[in-house]
Structure 1
């Protein structure tokens, strides 16, 4: 393709891109899919089964629960980082309050952040390296009586 033709094609593509609504890029891409699995939270108050979507790839972890308008009780998303590492999350483009449960590789709960504010760009970090972060609906961790040292088991946790 000759240079003038390339420039015209590039100009056309850029003008079409400019017509897209604000925020219509990859962040709202609905093609990111998540496998579904299950976990059980073991607390002093009892055992609670949780249906989870599993985020293991970079696009899945970047997308997370963004743009969702609801999350059913006893449902959530588990982020598997593959190795123990400090975990940092935020709520940009997340429309519902969430609890973020930080979980060590052995399945023990390191701690959690309750009722993260929808849309906030404040960084929420684990206090130590963790393998997983479980996101639940805001207030669910307290409703289960979850605390540091409790256990999480199930097929959604990798060996």
Structure 2
């Protein structure tokens, strides 16, 4: 039952790429498991990426933070000063998920590495990626990904 509630809260519904807006404040995901949308805050500067979701006491179920890097790189996260468990979804330049770290432990200072060159990381509530089935191979739809390289491209920065 909890799994069904989590899926419903993640705004999980059938949709087509043509019907979706490609906006900075939204990320769409699709895979063999289905499709979903998350409202996101962007962390696209060094200061924003360094702070991330630290000191937050909660995160709405259909929300997250998208960390965007100017060039692909190997990154490492930790959970110091982070109060809520998070799933970290590591994404390459095509918008394809390469790694999912599930339920990172609040306050843990152990490094969580991307293990490869990535362009973005999506953080969502801990346990949600497993409940939904988000895994390597899932693709993201967001204007941060170059439409000439994206697995699920935006036609422009504002809409499909």
- Bucket of the pairwise TM-score, normalised by the shorter protein: 0.7 to 0.9
Asked which structure has the greater CA Rg, the reply is: 1
Match of 2:78 in 1: 90
Output the aligned Cα RMSD: 1.4
Superposed CA offset, 1:92-136 (max 9, x none): 000000000000010000011000000111000012110001100
2:102 is equivalent to residue 140 of structure 1: no
Match of 2:152 in 1: none
Q: Secondary structure at the match of 1:147?
A: coil
Residue-pair matches, total:
124
Match of 1:45 in 2: 33
Give TM-score scaled by structure 2 length.
0.74
Q: Is the 8 A contact 1:91 1:119 kept in 2?
A: yes
Whole-Å Cα distance in 1 between the matches of residues 29 and 88 of structure 2?
14
Unaligned runs of 5+ in 1: 1-35
Deviation at 1:43, TM superposition (A): 1.9
2:99 is equivalent to residue 119 of structure 1: no
Give TM-score scaled by structure 1 length.
0.75
